[in-house]
Structure 1
Amino acid sequence: MKNPRDKRRDSRPQPPRKGGNAPMPARPREEPRPVAKIESAPEPKTPPRELVRREGALPAERLPTILEVLPNDDYALLDSGNGEKLEQYGPYRIVRPEGQAIWQRALPAKEWNNVDAVFTGDTDEEGMGRWRFPKTPLGETWPMRHDGIDYLGRFTSFRHVGVFPEQASHWDHMAGLIRDAKRPVKVLNLFGYTGLASLVAARAGAEVTHVDASKKAIGWARENQEIARLTDKPIRWICEDAMKFAEREERRGNAYDIILFDPPAYGRGPKGEVWQLFEDLPALTDICRSILTPKPLAVVLTAYSIRASFFAIHALMRDTFAGMGGVVESGELIIREKAGGRALSTSLFSRWLAK
Structure 2
Amino acid sequence: MSMISLITPAPWSAYELIDSGDFYKLERFGDYVLSRPEPQAVWRKSLSDDEWADRAHATFRRDRSSPERGDWQVKPGMRDPWQIRFQQQGLNLTFKLALTTFKHVGIFPEQANNWAYIHDAVTAMKRTTERPGVERPRVLNLFAYTGGASLAARQAGADVTHVDAVKPVISWARENMDYSELDNIRWVVEDAVKFVRREVRRGNKYNGIILDPPAYGRGPDGEKWVLEEQIYDLLGACADLLDGDDFFFIINLYSLGFSSLIVDNLMAQLFGDVPNAESGELYLADTFNKRLPLGVFYRFKN
Contact 2:35 2:60 in 1 (8 A): yes
Contact 1:70 1:335 in 2 (8 A): no
- Closer, same or farther in 2 for the Cα pair 1:327/1:319, shift >3 Å? farther
Deviations 1:122-175 (A, max 9, x none): 4779xx970001343543x11122223112001000000000111111111111
Match of 1:271 in 2: 221
Paired residues, what number?
287
Distance apart, 1:109 and its partner CA: 4.2
Give the Cα separation in 2 of the matches to 1:301 and 1:331.
Answer: 11
State, as a whole percentage, how many aligned pairs show the same letter: 40
- Closer, same or farther in 2 for the Cα pair 1:80/1:129, shift >3 Å? closer
3-state SS in 2 of match to 1:85 = strand
Q: Which moved more, 1:106-115 or 1:292-301?
A: 106-115
Give the Cα separation in 2 of the matches to 1:123 and 1:196.
Answer: 32
Instruction: State the 4+ residue runs in structure 1 displaced beyond 6 angstroms.
Output: none
Within 5 Å, give how 1:48-197 maps onto structure 2.
60-63=1-4, 65-113=5-53, 114-122=55-63, 130-136=71-77, 138-139=79-80, 141-147=81-87, 148-183=92-127, 184-197=136-149
Match of 2:164 in 1: 212
One-letter identity of the residue aligned with 1:326: P
Q: Which moved more, 1:217-226 or 1:180-189?
A: 180-189
Distance apart, 1:326 and its partner CA: 1.5
Match of 1:26 in 2: none
The answer as to 2:250 corresponding to 1:250 is no
Contact 2:70 2:102 in 1 (8 A): no
Structure 2: give runs of 5+ residues left out of the alignment.
128-135
- Equivalent in 190, 206, 210 of residue 260 of structure 1: 210
One-letter identity of the residue aligned with 1:177: A
Aligned-residue CA RMSD in angstroms? 1.9
Give the Cα separation in 2 of the matches to 1:188 and 1:170.
Answer: 15
One-letter identity of the residue aligned with 2:105: V
- Equivalent in 264, 280, 303 of residue 230 of structure 2: 280
One-letter identity of the residue aligned with 1:225: M
One-letter identity of the residue aligned with 1:344: L
One-letter identity of the residue aligned with 1:248: R
Q: Which moved more, 1:300-309 or 1:164-173?
A: 300-309
Deviations 1:248-303 (A, max 9, x none): 11111111111001111121111111111111111110111101123132111111
Match of 1:200 in 2: 152
One-letter identity of the residue aligned with 2:2: E
- Closer, same or farther in 2 for the Cα pair 1:192/1:213, shift >3 Å? same
Give the Cα separation in 1 of the matches to 2:70 and 2:39.
Answer: 21
Contact 1:122 1:130 in 2 (8 A): yes
Distance apart, 1:85 and its partner CA: 0.8
Deviations 1:223-261 (A, max 9, x none): 111111112xx3101100101111111111111111001
Distance apart, 1:328 and its partner CA: 3.0
Give the Cα separation in 2 of the matches to 1:293 and 1:253.
Answer: 11
Match of 1:8 in 2: none
Contact 1:317 1:352 in 2 (8 A): no
TM-score w.r.t. the length of structure 2 is 0.89
Match of 2:132 in 1: none
One-letter identity of the residue aligned with 1:106: S
One-letter identity of the residue aligned with 1:348: V
Structure 1: give runs of 5+ residues left out of the alignment.
1-59
One-letter identity of the residue aligned with 1:345: P
Q: Which has the higher contact order (CA 8 A, sep 6+)?
A: 1
Higher helix share: 2
